[in-house]
Structures are given as structure tokens and as C-alpha cells.
Amino acid sequence: MPIVSPQSALRATPRHQWKAANPMPHVETGADVGRGNRPLSPHLQVYKPQMTSVMSAFHRITGVGNSLGAALVAWWFIAAATGEGAFDFIDGLLTSWLGHLVLLGFTFSLCYHLCNGLRHLLWDAGYGFELDQVRTTGLVAMAAAAMMAVGLFVVGWAN
Amino acid sequence: MTMLTPRARVRGLGSAKGGTEHWWTQRLSAISLAVLAPFFFIPFAIALGKPWLEVVSMYKHPFNAIVAALFMLAVFHHMRLGLQVVIEDYIHAPALRTGLIIAVKLGTLLLGFAAAFSIGMIAFAV
């Protein structure tokens, strides 16, 4: 019988075929100990979206979005201190239709992040971990965010 | 027998190299922002779109100026902490990750101080 090293076997056959023919013995090490042969937790792509996970992802997305909004607000203040010309430029950008669209998105993003952030603070204090509570506070946060955003936009529009 | 020095054992930071400081300052800035938000955003929504002189005279008021300056400092601090976590989660190349974290830290510091200083300029201008 010819002696074939794993290396030469790999060269002769595609990797996935060789691996399928030579399964690794399961050895439990580290965090694996006691898991048995149970499957690993599924990847995000195949995991069914739930209210909790989607709201959590949105918290992060709106946080990154708010960063851009904060930079715009800083620009607005810096321009106001610089002078009328610099201020009129950023004011023109923000009051254009595109600027209004950005401001509308920013308002909703901000109010969501604020309301869901309060929910996070509630969790940090040790409350609201039961599934029905998580669902209720989530719905309350979304409703409050929507009302707050509409209110803020109306205040801005009316004045 | 442990290889840790007694001091390292008391600090308890381990291989994470950081303790609860990041988490705690993130919550503190979150609470500050939640309290300040209505006092910042209602005048801001009213001022937005108004002519320059009116905006400047609004932010000459000490209450508006103090709230706005505090809000800017807190918001950029909170933003640095949040963006750092996002970078740490998704950027795995060490050089790029460290570079981005440094850029975020310096950039937010610059924007926060520039915005707060500008509000001071508006408030103190004669």
C-alpha cells in the first residue's frame, strides 16, 4: 500500500472532498466542553428577524446616523459664530428640499435613539427583562419616538 | 500560583485592558443627553431656518447658550464612545481599527470643542 501524506492527498483531491472523506474527530476543548454535538448558533443571515433584534440593530444604525447629524449641527453653530455669509450657506443647505429630507430622517433617527436609549437605561438598572416587558417597552419606545419626532418637526415648521 | 502582581489582581482588567470605565461614561453621557435633549432641541428647532441675526440673538441668552454648549460637549463624547464600539465590532485589521479609533477620538474632540467655543463666541460677542 502506498504511503500518502495528507499534504499530497490534498494536492490530488479538492479540499472539500478530502475533508468530507476524512472527518475530524470531535474533540471538546475550551468553550466547547459540555456542548456535545449540538449545532452552533446560526449566523445573522439565516436568523429570523425578531422585534428585539431588529430594534437593537436600529439602535446602532440610528446612533451612527446621529453622528452625521451632530456634525451638521456643529457646522451650523460654527458657521453662526463665523459670520452671516458662512451661516447663510449652511442655512441654505438645510432649508433646501434635500436638507429638509435629511432633517426629517435625522429627527426620526434621533428620537428613536433617545427613546430606545431610555429603554437601555431601564435594562441597565435591572428592569424589564421579561419577554412581554421587552415587547411592551419596545412598542412604547417606537410610539413615543414617532410622536416626539412629529412634534419636533411641527415645532420647527410652525416657527 | 498566580503570575499576576497584587496590583494587577486588584485592578482586575485582565486581557481586555479596560474596565467598566467606557461602559459607565457612556451611560453618564446618555443620562446627560436625555435630560438636556428637550432644552436643546426645542430652541434649536425654533431657531433652524431663521435669519442669522435672530439665531445669534437667541443663543446670546445664557440658558440657551449653556445648554447648547453642554449638549455639544456631551453629544460628541457619547458619539466617540459609541463609534468606538462599532469600530471594535466590525473592523478587525489592527492597524486600521486603531487608526479609526484615534481618528474618531480626535475628530469628535475637535468638533465638540469647536461647537462649544462657537456658542461661547456668539454668547460673548458684543
CA distance A11 to B74: 59
On whether the A59-158 domain is CATH 1.10.3080.10, my answer is no
CA distances from B64 to A83, A94, B37, B57 (A): 19, 21, 12, 10
| DSSP per residue, A46-113 | GSPP-HHHHHHHHHHHHHHHHHHHHHHHHHHHHHHHH-HHHHHHHHHHHHSHHHHHHHHHHHHHHHHH
Q: Among B35, B33, B59, B34, which Cα is nearest to B46's?
A: B59
> A3 pLDDT exceeds 60?
no
CA–CA separation, B97 vs B88, rounded Å? Answer: 7
Contact A91 B118 (CB under 8 A): no
Q: Is A63 near chain B, with CB under 8 Å?
A: yes
When pLDDT is averaged across residues A138-156 and rounded to a whole number, the result is 96
A146 in Cβ contact with A111 (< 8 Å): yes
Residue A51: band (very low, low, confident or very high) from pLDDT cuts 50, 70, 90: very high
pLDDT of residue A10: 47
In a domain, B96, yes or no: yes
Contact B86 A153 (CB under 8 A): no
DSSP string, B52-116: HHHHHHHTTSHHHHHHHHHHHHHHHHHHHHHHHHHHHHH---HHHHHHHHHHHHHHHHHHHHHHH
Burial class of residue B87, CB neighbours in 10 A (0-12, 13-18, 19+): middle
Residues 6+ away with beta carbon under 8 Å from A124: B27
Instruction: Supply φ then ψ for residue B59, to 5 degrees.
Output: -85, 5
A121 part of contact set with chain B, CB < 8 Å: yes
pLDDT of residue A93: 96
Count of residues for chain B? Answer: 126
* Chain B touched by A151 (CB under 8 Å): no
Cα angle for residues A93, A98, A101 (degrees, 5° grid): 115
Give the pLDDT of residue B119.
98
B59 in any annotated domain: yes
Q: Nine-digit cell at A92?
A: 441654505
pLDDT on residue B91: 94
Q: For chain B, positions 10-49, list CB contacts with chain A under 8 A.
A: 27, 30-31, 33-34, 37, 41-42, 44-46, 48-49
Domain boundaries, chain A: 59-158
Q: How many CB pairs under 8 A join A and B?
A: 87
| Predicted pLDDT at A2 | 53
pLDDT score recorded for residue B6: 86
Q: Which is more confidently placed, B55 or A46? A: B55
**What percent of chain A shows pLDDT beyond 90?**
65
pLDDT in tens, chain B (126 residues): 578 888 888 877 776 677 788 999 999 999 999 999 999 999 999 999 999 999 999 999 999 999 999 999 999 999 999 999 999 999 999 999 999 999 999 999 999 999 999 999 999 986
ipTM of the complex: 0.89
Output the nine-digit C-alpha cell for A2.
Answer: 502506498
Q: Is residue B8 part of a domain?
A: no
Q: Is residue B42 part of a domain?
A: yes
Full domain range(s) for residue B94: 21-124
Tell me, what's the pLDDT at A25?
65
Q: What pLDDT was estimated at residue A29? A: 61
- Give dist(CA B62, CA B64) in Å, integer: 6
Total structural domains in chain B? 1
The confidence score (pLDDT) of residue B111 equals 98
B 68-107: CB under 8 A from A: 68, 72, 75-76, 79, 82-83, 86
Predicted pLDDT at A32 = 58
Asked whether residue A90 carries a pLDDT value surpassing 70, the answer given is yes
Residue B19's pLDDT is 72
How far, in Å, CA of A61 to CA of B78, rounded? 15
- Answer whether B27's CB lies under 8 Å from A121's CB: yes
**CATH code of residue B65:** 1.20.1300.10
Residue A30: pLDDT band (50, 70, 90) is low
pTM of the model: 0.81
